[in-house]
Amino acid sequence: MNMQEKNRDTAFHQIVVEKFQNIQSSICSALELADGSGQKFSKDEWQRPEGGGGLTRVFSQGDVIEKGGVNFSKVYGEVTSLMAEKLHMTEGNFLATGVSIVLHPQNPFVPIIHMNIRYFESQGNDGSFTYWFGGGIDLTPHYVDKEDAQYFHNSLRKVCDLYHPNFYPKYKKWADDYFFIKHRNETRGIGGVFFDRVQESENFSKENLFDFVLDLGESFAPIYTHLMHKNKDKTYNDKHKQWQYLRRGRYVEFNLVYDAGTKFGLETNGRIESILMSLPPQAQWTYDFKPEANSPEEKTLQMLKKGIDWV
């Protein structure tokens, strides 16, 4: 690539970084307001020795959110041979920036949510330039509520449909396949949308893609605060809490065994506390737990499958 292209892309990633930081900030404000406890997200700035760093924002013991993190990072440096192998790339330099969120609510009737938007670019030592976007939002209800599931998937479909009629079906399937706990033969939750390494195509410019990713990021706060408000005052008992803890155990299993971002972070000496901020405040494991027949817990298990059409 020539200098002109290089400068254009440098300018581009600066815009991405700025917009991502704005999204982080506005999501934190919206969540603080919806939580209603008056608590604020803490701010923890960190540097990565090899280049870049991030701002980790953490919330704990709110009225609605028990533990949550909204993480921004922008890291850059050398594409090491480990990265080149893991990411199927050529050696050179890279820049990766993203916003990553996981929220664990107090009330078992409020779902766990995860959102991530990310931009990656790299310049190979051979002069090549490549970039991609990735992202997704997925929901992990402790108890699947069909109305909420429909609302959630319809909201995502609306964002997708603004850009391409194939996006929702394609990225919904991708989420089903990605958020799957193979050793349990269960999906993590009811899915959502997920995509990775998406680049411009004939009908779709880099700027279009960026707009889609931003719209997805901006849809997060209205979608989740709606689910918070709707469910936060539902009454629950010890049995519901136990079930919540067991489901959180499954969340831990997914994140530590399968999640690509977590694995990559652990293998490449990432900032551990920011990576593992996704883990729940508390989780339980009970040997061979089986919910009672026809209980809400059993009905939830039956809906933790791939391929359910929620819209």
Residues belonging to the active site: 114
In the complex, the smallest distance separating the C-beta of residue 256 from a second copy, rounded to whole angstroms, is 4
Q: Which stretch binds a second copy (CB under 8 A): 192-200, 209-217, 229-237, 248-256?
A: 248-256
288 binds a second copy (CB under 8 A): yes
SS (H, E, C) 62-106: CCCEEEEEEEEEEEEEEECHHHHHHCCCCCEEEEEEEEEEEEEEC
Give the per-residue contact string, 182-211, with a second copy (x = CB under 8 A; - = no). Answer: xxx---------------------------
DSSP-assigned letter for residue 235: -
| Between 88 and 183, CB nearer to a second copy | 183
Q: What is the rounded distance in angstroms from the CA atom of residue 59 to the CA atom of residue 124?
A: 39
Query: What part of residues 166-185 is at the interface with a second copy (CB under 8 A)?
Result: 182-184
Q: What is the rounded distance in angstroms from the CA atom of residue 54 to the CA atom of residue 46?
A: 5
Contact between 167 and 223 under an 8 Å Cβ cutoff? The reply is no
- In sequence order, what are the residues at sequence separation of 6 or more whose Cβ sits closer than 8 angstroms to the Cβ of residue 89? 79, 83, 122, 124, 130
Query: What part of residues 21-60 is at the interface with a second copy (CB under 8 A)?
Result: 44, 58, 60
| Between 85 and 273, CB nearer to a second copy | 273
DSSP-assigned letter for residue 276: G
Q: What is the rounded distance in angstroms from the CA atom of residue 64 to the CA atom of residue 112?
A: 11
For the chain, the straight-line distance linking the first and the last C-alpha, in angstroms and rounded, comes to 44
Residue from 18, 286, 295, 307 binding a second copy (CB under 8 A): 286
In the complex, the smallest distance separating the C-beta of residue 257 from a second copy, rounded to whole angstroms, is 5
Q: Which stretch binds a second copy (CB under 8 A): 128-136, 140-148, 212-220, 268-276?
A: 268-276
Using CB under 8 A as the criterion, which residues of the chain lie in contact with a second copy when the complex forms? 44, 58, 60, 67, 69, 182-184, 245, 249, 252-253, 256-257, 266, 269, 272-273, 275-277, 279-288
